Amino acid sequence: MWFCGKDGFLSIVEKDCAADELLVRARVKAHIEAYFPAATIERTPGAHRDYLYRAKVKRTEVAERMAAYVMDELNADNFKNSVTDMKLHTAYMGVWHVMARMQEVPPYSGG
């Protein structure tokens, strides 16, 4: 699952971890730290790794953190405008444009 939050982008998968854990991956270490500050983060460079940073996090902690985000932190009427890190904002705008191409009627086309 990709998680696009105002404080970071995470890829959360069931891979290389125990059954009660999930692997939280990020391209920027601070993104994992923002959502899972107690996690032990590994730097994993290498040709076979697409995310430089990884942390094994208990499934229950991931679920609780995602729920807390929705319940307590998701309060913007425009998600992109809630992202203050300009490098992250630019990345999200790229995702927005790519995903907009999937829509049957282009955004803001009046159709």
Domain that holds residue 38: 2-75
Q: Is residue 22 one of the residues assigned to a domain?
A: yes
Q: Is residue 92 one of the residues assigned to a domain?
A: no
Number of domains making up the chain:
1
Look over the chain and give the mean of its residue pLDDT values, rounded to a whole number: 94
Q: Is residue 32 one of the residues assigned to a domain?
A: yes
pTM: 0.91
Q: Is residue 104 one of the residues assigned to a domain?
A: no
Q: Residues 81-96: what's their mean pLDDT? A: 96
Q: Is residue 29 one of the residues assigned to a domain?
A: yes
Distance CA(87)–CA(8), nearest Å, equals 10
Cβ-count burial of 50 within 10 angstroms (0-12 exposed, 13-18 middle, 19+ buried)? Answer: exposed
pLDDT band at 47, cuts 50/70/90?
confident
Distance CA(3)–CA(27), nearest Å, equals 12
In the predicted structure, residue 1 carries a pLDDT above the cut 90 = yes
pLDDT of residue 41: 98
